[in-house]
């Protein structure tokens, strides 16, 4: 998973507190996003895909045959190998109850595989009208036309907030531009990407399939702020939580005592943490964040009891929910050159 490179990039990212920026710093022209060197490496890395015959017999039967590297709106078309698609859908726990959206769906293989192999209905959003038509033909050939849709459109102008799984194989800078929208989705939404990550929003899980990187994020609930609870001890408990993306840290506080939280963890709307209470007991909380209520169970060596806490005041914005910084954008662009 190219961890040394990632460490280098991470080190660069954290080197300074960066100013805010907009799209104008995007380092690439819309229709030719890679430098010629990076483009060659990008194409070379997918040569195996073509060699493996991933374009398939159904595609071959069509009059229009897309070529690898076909110029797209913000990034060229290259397909995700089937093995990576399957792995990412497994990591996302895809099933018939989900709704998948593939942002930049190309020939539609991600959406088609989800419907065919996981029973997951889906939408592919693709700027290239010819690819949209082509994907519809493939869906027909695969017998999933009634479960999938392909829409011609720009991913930056599409409402995909209803999806429970979002798939992307775009570019690092494009992932960052979409990040605020993705982080604002319903808690528990799963986002999977082939190849590129989302900068400071570290994935919940990384995978490597035949030398290629894949990632999973689970959109976190907003657990930040001050929560008041009665935990059954003599003094009322306050939890003070700070959240950046899905990472949470903070304090448990009583009248004249405070203590840091052990290994707080947030996955979707599930919050788990532990602390030593004023009596010296280790308390382990397993709770659901339901808007401004925290509802769960406190377990200790003495047994378990229910805990309900209410947020005091407004929920603060999740750290990282704004636009990516200039420096993060530049680090993402530099990543392409190293790829
Ligand atoms: C690298 S391919 C990935 C295709 C497919 N998601 C997969 O994983 O096999 C990226 C696709 O995004 C499309 N695309 C590029 N910019 C887009 C935009 N702004 N809106 C919609 N589609 C876009 C390209 O035409 C291309 O088909």
Complete DSSP assignment for 21-74: --GGG--SBTTB-S-HHHHHHHHHHTHHHHHTTTTHHHHHHSS--PPTTB--SS
Which domains are delineated in the chain? Answer: 3-219+321-338 (3.40.50.150), 225-312 (2.40.128.20)
State the DSSP H helix or E strand holding residue 298, giving kind and residue range, or none if neither.
Answer: strand 293-300
169 CB within 6 A, ligand 1: yes
Residue whose C-alpha is closest to residue 93's, from 190, 196, 183, 220: 190
- Over residues 34-43, the pLDDT tens digits come to 333 333 333 3
Distance CA 40, CA 34 (A): 9
Q: What are phi and psi of 328, to 5 degrees?
A: -65, -40
Question: What angle is formed at CA 138 by the lines to CA 135 and CA 144, rounded to 5 degrees?
Answer: 105
Distance CA 99, CA 87 (A): 17
pLDDT for the residue numbered 230: 73
Q: What's the 77 CA to ligand 1 centre distance in angstroms?
A: 6
105 CB within 6 A, ligand 1: yes
125 CB within 6 A, ligand 1: yes
- Collapsing DSSP to helix, strand or coil, 204 comes out as coil
Residue 29 has pLDDT above 80, yes or no: no
Q: What's the 108 CA to ligand 1 centre distance in angstroms?
A: 10
Percent of the chain topping pLDDT 70: 80
Average pLDDT score over residue span 270-287: 96
Question: Across the chain, what does the average pLDDT equal?
Answer: 85
Average pLDDT score over residue span 26-48: 33
Q: What residue's CA is closest to ligand 1, atom 13?
A: 104
What ligand 1 atom has the least distance to the C-alpha of 131? Answer: 27
Q: What residue's CA is closest to ligand 1, atom 18?
A: 154
- Over residues 189-201, the pLDDT tens digits come to 999 999 999 999 9
110 CB within 6 A, ligand 1: yes
111 CB within 6 A, ligand 1: no
Looking at per-residue pLDDT, the higher value among 98 and 338 belongs to: 98
Q: Which of 43-47, 171-175, 327-331 has the lowest mean pLDDT?
A: 43-47
pLDDT for the residue numbered 271: 98
Distance CA 89, CA 207 (A): 12
């Amino acid at each position: 998973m190219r961890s040394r490179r990632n460490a280098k990039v991470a080190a660069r990212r954290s080197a300074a507190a960066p100013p805010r920026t907009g799209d104008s710093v995007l380092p690439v022209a819309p229709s030719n996003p890679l430098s010629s060197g990076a483009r060659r490496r990008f194409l070379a890395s997918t040569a195996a895909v073509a060699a493996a015959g991933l374009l398939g017999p159904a595609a071959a039967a069509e009059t229009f045959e897309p070529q690898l590297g076909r110029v797209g709106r913000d990034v060229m078309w290259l397909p995700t190998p089937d093995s990576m698609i399957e792995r990412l859908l497994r990591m996302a726990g895809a099933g018939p109850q989900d709704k998948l959206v593939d942002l930049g769906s190309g020939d539609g293989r991600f959406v088609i595989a989800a419907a065919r192999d996981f029973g997951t209905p889906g939408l592919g959003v693709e700027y290239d009208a010819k690819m949209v038509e082509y994907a519809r033909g493939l869906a027909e050939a695969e017998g999933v036309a009634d479960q999938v849709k392909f829409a011609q459109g720009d991913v930056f102008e599409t409402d995909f907030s209803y999806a429970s799984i979002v798939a992307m194989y775009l570019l690092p800078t494009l992932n960052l531009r979409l990040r605020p929208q993705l982080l604002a989705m319903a808690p528990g939404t799963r986002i999977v990407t082939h190849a590129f990550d989302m900068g400071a929003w570290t994935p919940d899980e990384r995978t490597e399939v035949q030398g290629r990187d894949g990632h999973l994020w689970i959109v976190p609930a907003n657990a930040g702020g001050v929560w008041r609870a009665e935990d059954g001890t003599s003094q009322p408990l306050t939890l003070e939580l700070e959240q950046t993306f899905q990472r949470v840290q903070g304090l448990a506080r009583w009248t004249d005592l405070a203590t840091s939280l052990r290994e707080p963890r947030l996955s979707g709307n599930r919050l788990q943490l532990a602390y030593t209470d004023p009596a010296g007991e280790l308390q382990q909380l397993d709770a659901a964040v339901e808007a401004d209520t925290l509802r769960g169970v406190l377990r200790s060596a003495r047994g378990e009891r229910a805990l309900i806490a209410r947020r005091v005041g407004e929920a603060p914005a999740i750290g990282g929910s704004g636009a990516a910084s200039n420096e993060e954008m530049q680090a993402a662009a530099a990543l392409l050159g190293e790829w």
